Every structure is written in C-alpha cells, then in structure tokens.
Amino acid sequence: MGQSLLLLQLVVILGASRVFAYVLRAFGQPPVIGEMIAGLALGPLLFGALAPGLHAQLFPPQSLPVLAGISQVGLVLFMFIVGAELRMPGGVAAQLRASSWIGGFSVLLPFVLGIAIAPWLHPELAPAGVALLPFALFIAVAMSITAFPIMARILKEKGLAGSALGTLGLTSAATADVLAWVLLALVVALISAGGGWYGFARALGGLVLLVGVAFALVRPAAAALLRRHAGDGKPDGTTLALLLLLTFAFAATTHWLQLHAVFGAFLFGVCLPRDDRLLDTLVERIEHLSVIVLMPVFFALAGLNTSPDAFVGMGLSAMGVILLLAILGKVLGGAAGARLGGTGWRDSFAIGTLMNTRGLMELIVLKVGLDIGVIGREVFTMLALMAVITTLMTSPLLGWLLRGRTAASAGNRETQSV
C-alpha cells in the first residue's frame, strides 16, 4: 500500500507542477517558479484547506521520509550539473573581485536587517525555549540566502546563462552562498552542538581541505579517466557510474561537515575538466530527469511543511516587514556591491535583482531551521512565501531593467533551454 501511495503522490506532484508551470508561463515566468508554487499549493495552505480529508490520505506523515529521500537525490544530481556547467569567461580576476563585493554586500545587508527585526518577532513567533540570539542569527541567515540553482534556471530560461551578466550573477551567488552557508553552519553548530567555534572551524577547515583534494587530486584523475573512456565526449556506462558515485561521495562529505550535501555535489561538478561535449552529454543524461521528476518532489515537501497559522496574530504584518526588508537588503546590497566592483548602474540593479532570487536554497535553509527547532512552522511559512515572492519578482524586474537588450547583446554565448 505504501508503494502505491508513492506512485499516486508522484502523479499528483508532477501533474500539479505541469498545471502551475503552464499557467505561470502566461505571465512570462519560467516553469521552475510554477513548480515551486505547485509545491506550496500542495501543502495545507491550498490543497489541505480545500480538501483536508483527501490531503491527509494522500500525504500522511509516515510517507514523507520517502519523498524527502527522493528529493535529496534530485537535489544532489541537480547541483552536480549546475557545478559542471559553470564557466568562467575572460577576465576571471576582475570577475572574482566584483563577485566578492556583490556576494559580500548582498549577504551582509539582509543579515543586518534580519538581526534588527528579530527582537520584534521573537516574543510571539519563536518556538518556546528558543533564546533570542540563535533565533536572530537564523532569521538573519535565512534573509541573506540567494538561490543559486533557481537563479541558474532563470538565467538559462532567459538565454542569459553564458552571458557576462549571468556569469557574474552566478559567481556572486556562489560567493554569497558559501558565506551564507558558513554562517548557517555556525548557527546550526551553535544550536544543535555545544561548541559553536569548533563546529565553525571544522566546517570551514573541512571545506578548504575538500576543495584542495578536489582540484589537486580528483580533477586530474577525472581528466585522465575521461580522456581514456570518453574520448568521443560520450562516457561509457562505467565512467558515468563512477562520476555519479563521486558526486554522492562528495555530497556525503559536505553533509557530514554540516555544510549541506548540495555543496559537495556542486564542488565535484566544478572540479571536472571543462569539456563542452562531455558536459553536454552529462547534462543530457542527468539533468532532465532530476529537474522534471525529482525537483518537484522537493517543492511539494516544502509545501507540506507550511502552516496556515502564519496568518493569525501579528503574522501578516510580520510577513510584510520580512518581505520588504528581504527585498531591500538583497537588491540594494547586491547593487552596491556591483557598483563598487565597477559595474554600471543599470546592470548593478539587475545583479541586485538576481541576488534577490531565494527560491530553492531558502527552502533548504528553512528545512534545516525547522529540523533543529529554531523556527516553527509559522515562521517557516512566512519565509517560504517570502522566498516565492522574491523569486517571482526576478523575471519581470530583470526584463524591465534589461529592456531593449537582446540576449545576444548581453554577451550570450549560446541559447540553452531545458
């Protein structure tokens, strides 16, 4: 019975994703946003409110670990592909400097704003027994996340993935993510472990070590393997299996370092040799299935963790303030960083808008917060809706800021579509 439930859940999740993606396309939104909203709609806010009995039958609590496992496999594979597709076009040094400014400011400003409003939210919205400091730190981190993978999908769907602007956005998001995730690891270590500084040092030291191993040992070994077994750009079954094995091994390592599995998968993708033919094959063989089948499961799981209690009491006003500060912090912080890095005004705001995309990563951070008990389902819901709204804004704002510019004039290398 459990297994037929899984099939039914998948049919409902994939069906809802298609319906919402279709509807949102009419508003010029990329499919990924429709899939995210479909996931939230499958939770108690919409489906659960309309048909509580059916909802309880279709998504009983004991069935959720299975969906969680499937969504984790999808996330790891997706992040591997995102890493493998990352390209550094000319002017790497300038790019790195600019992306450090952007990444730094677009984390710092929302972080400070998050700390600032936490004392106001804490009395009514923190779970019983959670002190102000960990709650404030978590809210601050949650506001400073940028959704690397969703930004990547938006850029791909707008045909900007290979453009200078797109690459600057992605490298900045990577910088911001590492920063925000290190902060998150610290917060998690502070809360769930005892020794915050030990956890911090272990996570950061472990990551540096893993990056060293990836580029000094794994990269040349992978290059040799691929030269031997994938000379025509089509790796054989065994080679592909080894690459996927390493993907999961890297993911398990960073998860063990409390830096989340997605970082390991991304790192392994990044450290592979840049060979377009090979990577096109990898994308073709891995990305479609993870994007189409496995990611919608992740979104649905996030939706199942929302709660309508978020709208009672001070809920609505709290959500309004969180949303406003989240947007201001990211857009202004990102734009300020880009200006300092030498980008023109309009592109700086485009970068700020891109950094405001929180979608998927935010949902992961929120899940971590819920798991360790530093936030309840009400704050989870507010921040999840904030994530959806800031992500929804990205496409129209970006279109408006870049109006009159075609993908080609933005320096686009090739038009990619998923």
Q: Per rule CB under 8 A, is residue 15 in the interface with a second copy?
A: yes
Stretch that binds a second copy, among 6-14, 109-117, 350-358, 405-413 (CB under 8 A): 6-14
Among 251, 279, 361, 388, binds a second copy (CB under 8 A): 251
Q: Per rule CB under 8 A, is residue 252 in the interface with a second copy?
A: yes
Q: Per rule CB under 8 A, is residue 406 in the interface with a second copy?
A: no
Distance (Å, whole) CA 11 – CA 49 = 20
Stretch that binds a second copy, among 69-77, 86-94, 323-331, 341-349 (CB under 8 A): 69-77
Q: Per rule CB under 8 A, is residue 11 in the interface with a second copy?
A: yes
Considering beta carbons, is residue 10 or 116 the nearer one to a second copy? 10
Q: Per rule CB under 8 A, is residue 230 in the interface with a second copy?
A: no
Considering beta carbons, is residue 265 or 331 the nearer one to a second copy? 265
Q: Per rule CB under 8 A, is residue 400 in the interface with a second copy?
A: no
Tell me the residue type at 367.
K
Cβ proximity of 332 and 104 under 8 Å: no
Q: Per rule CB under 8 A, is residue 229 in the interface with a second copy?
A: no
Distance (Å, whole) CA 66 – CA 71 = 9
Considering beta carbons, is residue 255 or 413 the nearer one to a second copy? 255
Residue spans of alpha helices (H) in 195-275 = 196-213, 219-229, 237-256, 261-271
Among 244, 321, 323, 328, binds a second copy (CB under 8 A): 244
- Looking from the CA of 26 toward its CB, the CA atoms found within 13 Å total 5
- Looking from the CA of 284 toward its CB, the CA atoms found within 13 Å total 9
What is the SS3 assignment for 59? coil
Q: Per rule CB under 8 A, is residue 58 in the interface with a second copy?
A: no
Degrees (nearest 5) of the Cα angle 222, 227, 232?
A: 125
Stretch that binds a second copy, among 37-45, 66-74, 163-171, 333-341 (CB under 8 A): 66-74
Q: Per rule CB under 8 A, is residue 285 in the interface with a second copy?
A: yes
Q: Per rule CB under 8 A, is residue 65 in the interface with a second copy?
A: yes
Looking up tokens 């059916």 gives: 54
Cβ proximity of 57 and 179 under 8 Å: no
Stretch that binds a second copy, among 103-111, 123-131, 236-244, 405-413 (CB under 8 A): 236-244
End-to-end CA distance of the chain: 35
Least Å distance, CB 279 to a second copy, is 14
Stretch that binds a second copy, among 8-16, 104-112, 213-221, 335-343 (CB under 8 A): 8-16
Q: Per rule CB under 8 A, is residue 106 in the interface with a second copy?
A: no
Cβ proximity of 164 and 405 under 8 Å: no
Considering beta carbons, is residue 251 or 397 the nearer one to a second copy? 251
N residues, the chain: 418
Among 29, 72, 381, 395, binds a second copy (CB under 8 A): 72
Among 124, 276, 284, 309, binds a second copy (CB under 8 A): 284
SS (H, E, C) 386-417: HHHHHHHHHHHHHHHHCCCCCCCCCCCCCCCC
Q: Per rule CB under 8 A, is residue 276 in the interface with a second copy?
A: no
Degrees (nearest 5) of the Cα angle 47, 50, 51?
A: 80
Among 58, 204, 223, 240, binds a second copy (CB under 8 A): 240
Q: Per rule CB under 8 A, is residue 372 in the interface with a second copy?
A: no
243's tokens: 């690459």
Q: Per rule CB under 8 A, is residue 290 in the interface with a second copy?
A: yes
- Looking from the CA of 182 toward its CB, the CA atoms found within 13 Å total 18
What is the SS3 assignment for 28? coil
Distance (Å, whole) CA 80 – CA 144 = 23
Binding residue count for a second copy, defined by CB under 8 A: 51
Q: Per rule CB under 8 A, is residue 241 in the interface with a second copy?
A: yes
Q: Per rule CB under 8 A, is residue 214 in the interface with a second copy?
A: no
Cβ proximity of 271 and 216 under 8 Å: no
Cβ proximity of 290 and 76 under 8 Å: no
Considering beta carbons, is residue 62 or 123 the nearer one to a second copy? 62
Question: Rule CB under 8 A: which residues touch a second copy?
Answer: 2-4, 6-8, 10-11, 14-15, 17-18, 21-22, 31, 65-70, 72-73, 76-77, 236-238, 240-242, 244-245, 248-249, 251-252, 255-256, 261, 284-286, 288-293, 417-418
